[in-house]
Amino acid sequence: MLRALDHPYAYAQLVADRLKKGIMVVSVDQNGKPNVMAASWGFFGYQWSRPVYIVPVQPPRYTHGLIAQSGEFVISVQPESMDDDMLFSGACSGRDVDKFQARGLTPVAMPIPGFKTPGISGALLHLACRVIHTAGAKPLSPHTFFFGEIVGAYADALP
């Protein structure tokens, strides 16, 4: 069962430490089917006096279109026991593979009215984000930076 955290950065050090190896970025298609992407870089802090997580995604990636279309994403920070799931999610495209089904992952709903993107059951914590801004990084990088306001932070499998 999800436990709401008092502060979105209550476990900032855990997020930063796990980000070095990779975390899971969950998105959802227009029919509610979840997809997961591995990400080993991102940023979190405050922007416009709001807590944000910024995830860079290249436009050709399936996840890019899903986040752009839905306007939301979830950062699910997995325990080491789920690192193989994270690596798998970065090795194939959700256009071709249902990654949740292929890895036996279970979606967990975020308890936020109108929020459609789930987290991944068994992850340590989830940051539910609504996109408030996007920015390009050309010519340095082809990525789009999705600025997600953290609208909910939840512990799942934290000890």
DSSP H helix total and E strand total for the chain: 4, 10
Task: List, in order of start, the domains of the chain with CATH numbers.
Answer: 3-42+60-129 (2.30.110.10)
Give residue-wise pLDDT tens across range 22-56.
Answer: 999 999 999 999 999 999 989 999 999 999 999 99
Of the candidates 82, 16, 89, 78, the residue with the CA atom closest to the CA atom of residue 53: 16
Give residue-wise pLDDT tens across range 57-82.
Answer: 999 999 999 999 999 999 999 999 99
Q: What's the number of CA atoms in the CB half-sphere (13 Å) around residue 116?
A: 15
pLDDT band at residue 159, thresholds of 50, 70 and 90? low
| Helix (H) or strand (E) run with residue 50 in it | strand 50-57
| CA 16 distance to own-chain centroid | 14
Length of the chain: 159
pLDDT given for residue 141 in this prediction:
85
Give residue-wise pLDDT tens across range 99-149.
Answer: 999 999 999 999 999 999 999 999 999 999 999 999 998 888 889 999 999
Q: What pTM was computed for the model? A: 0.95
Q: Is the pLDDT of residue 158 over 80?
A: no
Mean pLDDT score of the chain: 94
Residue type, 126: H
Residue type, 127: L
d(CA 23, CA 126): 11
